[in-house]
Chain A
Amino acid sequence: MYAGIDIGSRTIGMVAMSAGQIKQFRLEDTGFEPTDTAQKILDGTYSRIVATGYGRHSAKAEFADDIITEIKAHALGAAWIFPGVRTVLDIGGQDTKVISLNEHGAVIDFLMNDRCSAGTGKFLEIMSTALGYNSVSEFGQEALTGEGTIKISNMCTVFAESEAVTLLHRGAPKKDIALALHASVVERTVGMLQRAGFKTPLVFTGGVAKNRCINSLLATKLGVDVLVPEEPQLVGALGAALAAAKDGFTA
């Protein structure tokens, strides 16, 4: 069996494959000791482990046989689930990536947001808390029922939070503010996709792909179908498992 592990800032995903089939998968919160958590999840015997995600270098130092970047991992994973994919949008806990693939599934270009977390999973998490929602999924669900009467102009997590709080105090409906915050993420993402000259099929991966409001706004704004895998948070781990199997020598 081959294992891929994706050590992200918020979650750690693991996919194990054998004979071209997914045999196991798991997803855990990263916690405070990412490398330990990762090792606990990997409780089988694997002929080869490939790590990806921001914790990949520590994983290599501790237990992984090899590493690939999240960019390559998401491209490999997305192309396995959706053959022929030309663009992968990955919005994770702390960054956004747009990956362009050629017709053979090879990465030909990519864009990644700079150091700040504007428009990422972390942004949505903080806004959800600021508005008093119990979970990000509740936040996304509520936003779907909001009316597009408000525009949040700030992209910065800190400024956008104070903007949202100010709106609350002014008596704006919570779900409208929620919608506006989602719309601001989508606007930023669409800008990145356009800069990359995105092509279809477009696949959306990462934790934020589970947010139904983001999905629906994105599809409307782009005017194309946005393909979301069943487990968007595991696409990186899947890509790493595929990389492990590809360079491996036994089944």
Chain B
Amino acid sequence: MSNHYNEMWRSLGLNLKAHDQLLQALPPTYHDVYLTQTNRPQSMEYFDFVVNEIHGLRIQELQEHKKKGGKVIGAFCVFVPEEIVRAAGGICIGLCSGLEMGTAEAEQVLPRSICPLIKSFMGFKLAKVCPYFESCDLVVGETTCDGKKKAFEILNDYVPVHVMETPQMKKGRDKQLWLEEVQDFAGLVQETTGIEITRESLAKAIQEVNGKRQALRRLSNLRKNDPAPISGKDSLLIEQIAMYDDVARFTAKVNELCDELEQKISAGEGAFPPKTPRVIVTGTPMAIPNWKVPHIIETSGAVIVAEEMCTGMRYFENEVAEAGSLDSMLENIAARYLGINCAVFTPNTGRLENLENLVKEYHAGGVIHCTLSFCDPYAVEANRVEKMMKQKGIPFLKIETGYDQEDAGQLKTRVEAFIEMLR
């Protein structure tokens, strides 16, 4: 990213020196992980461009939106309904980060042993290196884990945070609670943007976001083919970009990519040779630029065919049903989001059933469970997943790791040995 964004970054209050270091770290990583892949679809060019401009052009677009009086709302979780933000004229962006950054600053307010995703978002805010954070008029948290829930109290010292209460079960009263949270959120968003949500605007937003989900599901379905038409790394990248790119443009680009992949499939071409061992990755989200485990997997002789994660299927499975009245639309939104199989729920049997089906549908030979260090909900739930996998005779590997690279050698041995088992 060139220096001509310097003025914009300065005006956002970024720490330019620290920000420069961050930008310098990214291109070599991206080159090694992404640009060295062979048989990449041509249409990945757009997504390469978007990553390259992650702190440039997209931030400029957000600033232009703000100049016209528009608002930007940041979120940390796939439970925050983007439809509502868009219906009130706002732009919704994901703020999670997959990079160790501002650790020293974050550890002034957080315990040392905490989930790297939490430490990272706090670090990005306190070190003033995230132009997305600095573009936000409102930041929305949720109660999907104790670490995040309590960290939002601290984050609120630096930026206004609205916390949505996500329930822990899916009973009738939980549904009622969540619906009220969604309704309150709609009220708050309208206050923030100063634009009233109408039946028309919400219906349009629902259609747009459903369109984005449909495009991502189309891509996902194409990955059921052998040879896999696209790498898991490229697919993950697209799923990560989905959280912050312009919705209409992104949807069109994903569909263009799918057109190309369909041609590849009819020509019998793939990103990997036919009969390459296929794995499904499940667990905690992999926020951009966390490509650590997928990179190890795909450079060890396997291809990832699905991500049962928030940066993956949990983000785009199920749609919001369209409806006539504003109230029923909000109800449908609440219902769609409560269908997400997050490990915060107890029990979370939906995730297990879904995984078993995915293994069949995507012809996967095994499942790799990836948990971020100190993520209790997923690390504990891994036991349920492992038990089910063993019962079904599905090869299973469990990995717990953070954003650092110091365990990369050992992880590589484990992943390679797992893939040897699948052959």
Min CB distance, A60 to chain B, in Å? 12
The interface stretch among B14-22, B264-272, B413-421 is: B413-421
**CB contact between B409 and one of A54, A68, A71 (< 8 Å): that residue:** A54
B400 within 8 A of A: yes
The answer on a CB contact under 8 Å between B407 and A115 is yes
**CB contact between B420 and one of A68, A114, A115 (< 8 Å): that residue:** A68
Give chain B residues whose Cβ lies under 8 Å from the Cβ of A54: 409, 413
Min CB distance, B302 to chain A, in Å? 13
Give chain A residues whose Cβ lies under 8 Å from the Cβ of B414: 110, 112
Cα distance A95–B400 in the bound complex, in angstroms: 16
The answer on a CB contact under 8 Å between A114 and B413 is no
Given contacts A70-B417, A95-B410, 5 further A-B contacts (CB under 8 A): A69-B420, A71-B420, A106-B421, A112-B417, A114-B410
Give chain B residues whose Cβ lies under 8 Å from the Cβ of A72: 417, 420
Cα distance A112–B418 in the bound complex, in angstroms: 12
Classify the interface of chain B: helix, strand, loop or mixed: helix
Q: Which of B373-423 contact A (CB under 8 A)?
A: 395, 400, 406-407, 409-410, 413-414, 416-417, 420-421
Instruction: Knowing A108-B421, A114-B400, say if A69 contacts B413 (CB, 8 Å).
Output: yes
Instruction: Knowing A107-B421, A114-B400, say if A69 contacts B406 (CB, 8 Å).
Output: no
The answer on a CB contact under 8 Å between A115 and B417 is no
Contact with B along A137-152 (1 / 0, CB 8 A): 0000000000000000
Give chain A residues whose Cβ lies under 8 Å from the Cβ of B410: 95, 112, 114-115
Min CB distance, A118 to chain B, in Å? 13
Query: A54, A106, A107, A110: which has the most chain B beta carbons within 10 Å?
Result: A110
Instruction: Knowing A107-B421, A108-B421, A114-B400, say if A69 contacts B416 (CB, 8 Å).
Output: yes
Query: B395, B406, B407, B420: which has the most chain A beta carbons within 10 Å?
Result: B420
Closest 5 CB pairs of A and B: A71-B417, A69-B417, A115-B407, A69-B416, A72-B420
**25 residue pairs from A and B, CB less than 8 Å apart:** A54-B409, A68-B420, A69-B413, A69-B416, A69-B420, A70-B413, A70-B417, A71-B413, A71-B417, A71-B420, A72-B420, A95-B410, A107-B417, A107-B420, A107-B421, A109-B395, A109-B421, A110-B417, A112-B413, A112-B414, A114-B400, A114-B407, A115-B406, A115-B407, A115-B410
Contact with B along A117-150 (1 / 0, CB 8 A): 0000000000000000000000000000000000
Report B's interface with A, CB cutoff 8 A.
Answer: 395, 400, 406-407, 409-410, 413-414, 416-417, 420-421
Cα distance A137–B28 in the bound complex, in angstroms: 46
Report A's interface with B, CB cutoff 8 A.
Answer: 54, 68-72, 95, 106-110, 112, 114-115
Q: Nearest chain-B residue to A9 (Cβ)?
A: B409
Give chain A residues whose Cβ lies under 8 Å from the Cβ of B420: 68-69, 71-72, 107
Q: Nearest chain-A residue to B413 (Cβ)?
A: A69
Q: Nearest chain-A residue to B412 (Cβ)?
A: A57
Give chain B residues whose Cβ lies under 8 Å from the Cβ of A109: 395, 421
Q: Nearest chain-A residue to B406 (Cβ)?
A: A115
Cα distance A72–B406 in the bound complex, in angstroms: 23
Q: Nearest chain-B residue to A197 (Cβ)?
A: B390
Give chain B residues whose Cβ lies under 8 Å from the Cβ of A95: 410
Min CB distance, A189 to chain B, in Å? 17
Query: B409, B417, B420: which has the most chain A beta carbons within 10 Å?
Result: B417
Give chain A residues whose Cβ lies under 8 Å from the Cβ of B413: 54, 69-71, 112
Give chain A residues whose Cβ lies under 8 Å from the Cβ of B407: 114-115
Q: Nearest chain-A residue to B411 (Cβ)?
A: A115
Query: B400, B407, B409, B413: which has the most chain A beta carbons within 10 Å?
Result: B413
Q: Nearest chain-B residue to A71 (Cβ)?
A: B417
Cα distance A110–B366 in the bound complex, in angstroms: 14
Give chain B residues whose Cβ lies under 8 Å from the Cβ of A71: 413, 417, 420
Cα distance A109–B414 in the bound complex, in angstroms: 11
Min CB distance, B204 to chain A, in Å? 49
Give chain B residues whose Cβ lies under 8 Å from the Cβ of A112: 410, 413-414, 417
Min CB distance, B173 to chain A, in Å? 39
Min CB distance, A93 to chain B, in Å? 13
Give chain B residues whose Cβ lies under 8 Å from the Cβ of A108: 421
Q: Nearest chain-B residue to A110 (Cβ)?
A: B417
Min CB distance, B114 to chain A, in Å? 18
Cα distance A110–B407 in the bound complex, in angstroms: 17
Cα distance A71–B414 in the bound complex, in angstroms: 8
Give chain B residues whose Cβ lies under 8 Å from the Cβ of A115: 406-407, 410
Give chain B residues whose Cβ lies under 8 Å from the Cβ of A68: 420
Min CB distance, B382 to chain A, in Å? 13
Q: Nearest chain-B residue to A68 (Cβ)?
A: B420
Give chain A residues whose Cβ lies under 8 Å from the Cβ of B409: 54
Min CB distance, B188 to chain A, in Å? 43
Cα distance A70–B416 in the bound complex, in angstroms: 10
Cα distance A54–B413 in the bound complex, in angstroms: 8
Cα distance A114–B417 in the bound complex, in angstroms: 15
Min CB distance, B34 to chain A, in Å? 20
Q: Nearest chain-A residue to B408 (Cβ)?
A: A115
Give chain A residues whose Cβ lies under 8 Å from the Cβ of B400: 114
Give chain A residues whose Cβ lies under 8 Å from the Cβ of B416: 69
Min CB distance, A165 to chain B, in Å? 26
Cα distance A154–B221 in the bound complex, in angstroms: 50
Min CB distance, B361 to chain A, in Å? 24
Give chain B residues whose Cβ lies under 8 Å from the Cβ of A106: 421
Cα distance A182–B303 in the bound complex, in angstroms: 42
Give chain A residues whose Cβ lies under 8 Å from the Cβ of B395: 109
Min CB distance, A54 to chain B, in Å? 6
Cα distance A112–B414 in the bound complex, in angstroms: 7
Give chain A residues whose Cβ lies under 8 Å from the Cβ of B421: 106-109
Cα distance A106–B395 in the bound complex, in angstroms: 13
Min CB distance, B186 to chain A, in Å? 45
Cα distance A115–B410 in the bound complex, in angstroms: 7
Cα distance A110–B400 in the bound complex, in angstroms: 15
Min CB distance, A206 to chain B, in Å? 14
Cα distance A106–B421 in the bound complex, in angstroms: 8
Cα distance A195–B289 in the bound complex, in angstroms: 34
Q: Nearest chain-A residue to B300 (Cβ)?
A: A69
Cα distance A106–B409 in the bound complex, in angstroms: 24
